[in-house]
Chains A and B, each alone.
Chain A
Amino acid sequence: MAHPVDPYSDRYALRAAGMTGSEIRALFSVLERPEIISLAGGNTDTDIVAHRVVDCVRAVLSRDSRAALGYGAAGGHLALRTQLVGLMAAQGIEADPHQLVVTNGAQQALEFMAKVFCEPGDLVLTEAPTYVGAIGAFTSFQAEMQAVATDEHGIVPEALDQTLTEISSGGRRVKFLYLVPTFQNPSGYTLAADRRPRVIEICQRSGVLIVEDDPYAQIRFEGEAVPPLRALTDDGIIYLGTLSKVFSPGIRTGWVLAPEPVRERLLLAKEAADLCSSPFTQLVAAEYLSSPHIEEDLEMVRKVYKERRDAMLDAVDAHFPGETTLSVPEGGLFLWVTLPAPIDTKEMLARALDEGVAYVPGTAFYPRKSDGKTSMRLNFSYPSVADIDEGIRRLGSVVSDELELARSFES
């Protein structure tokens, strides 16, 4: 008699049946162990803002407890949307609070993009590598993802143009291009200012929407700010923002700025998903954004993360083999490190965990699992400088060991 391992397996919708497990996630169970230094997460250091939250919570509950503890509007609380418009204005984006839908982090917005736009088999283009959570969100609606050549200046416009032409001549249509143009996750790359208008022009010419995911732009340590694509045009761009990096991931507050007809669909999607984002956390976020502290805290975030990025760059320089290449991001949370072949970072993860250090293998960030084998993403925003030093020392030793083994097989 057949015993499906999952007794409910014949009841799932196709989109759920297609969701596969993750070896990396299963191995990361050991991250609970205190001896492991994790350079794998995407967390921010919330200690920097934690002391503000108590005051914000107290203010919200003493002033607005009925609004905070009840249901709210699907589009989000007006007080928060007004503050978010101000936050975007500082980035050069003109918007009106009524153009926004507040979501549970930008991750929910990503799922809405797929839910609203993608039929099974529809094509979505991305950078290469791209954000792993976007791969999960889009493929959960059976969208097909195709990566476009990307270099240290971001997605390559010529490659995008050629890809779109090829797809179009094959009779297929791209639903949208997904970009994290500034301090990209995982690569840390920023789409160069001169490429941005070209990317917009190519997509507009091809009738392809751009979904601009912009969580990291405010975390710039150095270099000149580059305006978001949405600051250059409002035509054909859906902009996703989040407070996860500038305030707190735990507050689960993101938003979508979309053209009016799209916003109407997103409102329906939001109502169907969870009626509304938590009014309580929205009001706490609004309280924080209206306080005089955000710029002061952001300065501290930039200072602390820059110290940690520098510590990580120094440590990689000291402990990794000379053939290593890496991004030197001017902001954000991540370094993207590429090791010499034939190192396979997914296979090497077991050795690294055994030595007490974790990272995310490069393959996690590509739609095609054969890509990214020699790369890894390292997070510098969460671990302390001491943990970065020790973690990179351990990882460097693992890499050297792996390289020596690989060369032993070649001889």
Chain B
Amino acid sequence: MARVVVVRGGRSLEREFSLRSGHHVATALRHGGHDVHEIDVDQELAKSLQESGVAFIALHGRDGEDGTVQLTCEALAVPYTGSAPLTCRLCFDKGLSKGVLHRAGLPTPPGYVLSDEAVRHMGAGTALRRAADRLGYPLAVKPAAAGSALGLSVVRDPGELSAAAMAALNHGDRLLVERFVDGIEISIPVLGADLDPLEPVEIRTKNGVFDFETRVSPGMYEYICPANIADDVRDLAKRIATEACRVLGVRDFARVDLRIGDDGPTILDVKTCPGLTETSTVPLAVAQSGSSFEDFVGNVAGAALTRTPTARA
């Protein structure tokens, strides 16, 4: 049995979630009979990766979701789980992934990306206000590249816009302002070579937004699985999730977050390294499908072992 190195923790503000995901994954792999070693992101990372048979990447946020660790694995010719660096980069940057999805004719809320540089040095605060007026309130303002809804604000009037933009830019150098879709929020895990969708998990929150504060507050939200939505909407959402992953080049597994508004399902985000904690939506949907988390992580690691990273520009 190949030695599996679970990479978890990391330098991002999602470290706490990643440690929990990594622990859950490592425990399940051990139960499945794998030789498992858990490691953090530090100067020894490349050495530890080199000594592994396969890397299970359970990092959230930067390094793990933006393709940094994946690129390192490629350079070391170490097989790793999940999507290739380009897809990671695309999905981690919501501005880029929205562009790809839009071109493919897939629904995603209209929005604009502005950079910190443009705001500071090009007077783009005005552009933000104009974009906001054109999109219409309420708006979602968030970092273009961050997870766990860090820096997310729902802006209901222009007076809140600057503070929301600052909150977003505290988590990265670009912000995304997009139309807020009022409706049911669902997550659809997509798995395997055929990117098969699992049953949607509905997320119900007490304050209507699944923001970071809610995510760290047990009791402020609950999951409904399968989601309480009409069959035709469910089927459409699942088709959209699979197609989104296909056009973005997702491999092994991902989680697609959507909202179901008046115009049907629309994609908020595609996560290439989604939460895998005991209370995350992916393990819940896996269990709902009749499979075990142990089998899920075993299959993901097994799929990675069949690949050898190849040199590419």
Q: Which residues of A contact B (CB under 8 A)?
A: 1-6, 9, 17, 20-23, 25-27, 29-30, 32-33, 35, 342, 344, 347-351, 353-354, 402, 404-406, 408-411
Contacts and interface: CB of A to CB of B under 8 A. Distances in A.
Interface in B219-234: 219-226
A20 B116 contact: no
10 contacts: A5-B222, A6-B218, A21-B217, A27-B13, A29-B16, A33-B11, A35-B11, A350-B170, A405-B116, A409-B128
Contact of A5 (B16, B151, B221): B221
A5 B223 contact: yes
- Among A32, A35, A410, find the residue whose CB has the most chain B CB atoms closer than 10 A: A32
Interface in B1-57: 11-13, 15-17, 19
Given A3-B222, A26-B16, A409-B162, 18 more contacts: A4-B222, A6-B219, A9-B222, A17-B219, A20-B217, A21-B216, A21-B218, A27-B16, A29-B16, A30-B13, A347-B151, A350-B13, A350-B150, A351-B170, A405-B119, A405-B169, A408-B123, A409-B119
Contacts of A20: 217, 219-220
A6 B215 CA distance: 12
In this complex, the interface size class of chain B, counting residues with CB under 8 Å from chain A, is: 35 or more
A35 B125 CA distance: 33
Contacts of A35: 11
B167 interface: yes
Contacts of B221: 5
Interface residue SS majority, chain A: helix
A384 B111 CA distance: 47
B219 A405 contact: no
A29 B148 CA distance: 14
Given A29-B19, A347-B170, A350-B170, A408 B218 contact: no
B279 A6 contact: yes
Interface in B226-273: 226
Q: Which 3 A-B pairs have the closest CB atoms?
A: A29-B16, A21-B216, A21-B217
Contacts of B279: 5-6
A23 B213 contact: yes
A402 B171 CA distance: 12
Contacts of B16: 26-27, 29
A22 B119 contact: no
Interface in B178-216: 201, 212-213, 216
A30 B123 contact: no
B284 interface: yes
A405 B99 CA distance: 27
A21 B148 CA distance: 15
A354 B226 CA distance: 38
A411 B128 CA distance: 12
B225 A405 contact: no
Given A6-B219, A350-B170, A30 B119 contact: no
A404 B120 contact: yes
Given A1-B224, A20-B217, A20-B220, A344 B120 contact: no
Contacts of B201: 3
A33 B16 CA distance: 12
B75 interface: no
B100 interface: no
B209 to A, nearest CB: 14
Nearest to B287: A3
B224 A344 contact: no
Contact of B171 (A2, A23, A350): A350
B104 interface: no
B162 A406 contact: yes
A1 B11 contact: no
B76 interface: no
A26 B163 contact: no
Contacts of A405: 116, 119-120, 166, 169
B16 to A, nearest CB: 4
Contact of B166 (A2, A349, A354, A406): A406
A68 to B, nearest CB: 37
A25 B212 CA distance: 12
B59 interface: no
A350 B169 CA distance: 10
A347 B15 contact: no
A32 to B, nearest CB: 8
Nearest to A1: B225
A353 B219 contact: no
A409 B150 contact: no
A344 B219 contact: no
A17 B222 CA distance: 14
